[in-house]
A = this chain, B = another copy of it.
Amino acid sequence: MQKIFITVLLLLTLSLQATDALPSWNEGTSKQSIINYVTAATKERTADFIPVKDRIVVFDNDGTLWSERPVYFQLYFAMDRVKALASEHPEWKTTEPFKSVLENDMNGVMKSGEHGLVQIVNATHSGMDNESFKTIVKEWLKTAKHPTSQRAYSELIYQPMMELITYLNMNDFKVYIVSGGGIDFMRSFIPEVYGIPEEHIIGSSGKVHYKDGQIIKDPAINYNNDKEAKPIAIYYAIGKHPVAAFGNSDGDFAMMLYTEANKKHKTLQLYVHHTDEKREWAYDRKSHIGKLDKGLDYGKEHNWTIMDMKNDWKVIYPFELNKKD
């Protein structure tokens, strides 16, 4: 048994040295900056070597690891839950923002603003223990379809970023998700779909209480993990500056600045820039979702890697790989 394991390990190591760890990335400065960084960080007895214990890297999720258009996928889940629960809440037929949800009026939903979205989340993400909630999300993900592509949401993950996560894991980096998405929502699919364990997922959360061995989700926001809240959440959960940060919006800017401020180690900041309106979406400075403005300027001035989805990625989604066969 041990011999087999060791042989496999050896073969894997040798084959990785020989093959391209990022096959869905086109050759170019983005890919090269990643490879240069990882190569330097793992080369012992050189200036940029990073001890394994400090190899902490953070990824945003929405728009960085999977798509976030037309709106965050978690909102589609919440809206479907409103519809599923509507028979228990006859008053929703005449009360905003629920009325708009039930009438499939996305403009009406968005008009309800942050207050309306919080109401929808509170009504659909509470009243049960966290394990039951995750089961509901898992069931939903099995059948729910993205409104424009008609794909399962878990198909709309970025193949090049999955390769990047594997590449970092193989080089002993600990990969954390630091997202504005809800922790239980993310924990219901990320371990299986991205291979990142539940305990490496940092997100927004609701209030909870403890009862009879279970965690019960209450209808109130506990933590909104966006902007400056991201480095603070990293501090509470991890306790130190990451060495690399990957994001796509101004919501990730503070987390990337926090990473850049690491005094011990060379760092890497990478922005996924949505430039491909044909294969995905193109948006940045003026977008309501995933707005990238301040971070784009700063990143360009400070030698951050501004990845260009259109030119840097051979494929966007994993299902495109099959097409090419």
Contacts and interface: CB of A to CB of B under 8 A. Distances in A.
Interface in A238-254: 238-240, 254
Contact of A240 (B198, B228, B237, B254): B198
A147 interface: no
Nearest to A200: B199
A261 interface: yes
A232 B210 contact: yes
A205 interface: yes
A44 to B, nearest CB: 10
Interface string A164-208: 000000000010000000011001000100000111010001001
A260 B191 contact: no
A319 interface: no
Contact of A239 (B183, B213, B239): B183
A130 B235 CA distance: 9
> What are the 4 A-B residue pairs with the smallest beta carbon separation, nearest first?
A213-B261, A198-B239, A210-B228, A215-B235
7 contacts: A6-B6, A6-B9, A56-B199, A130-B239, A184-B239, A199-B238, A214-B261
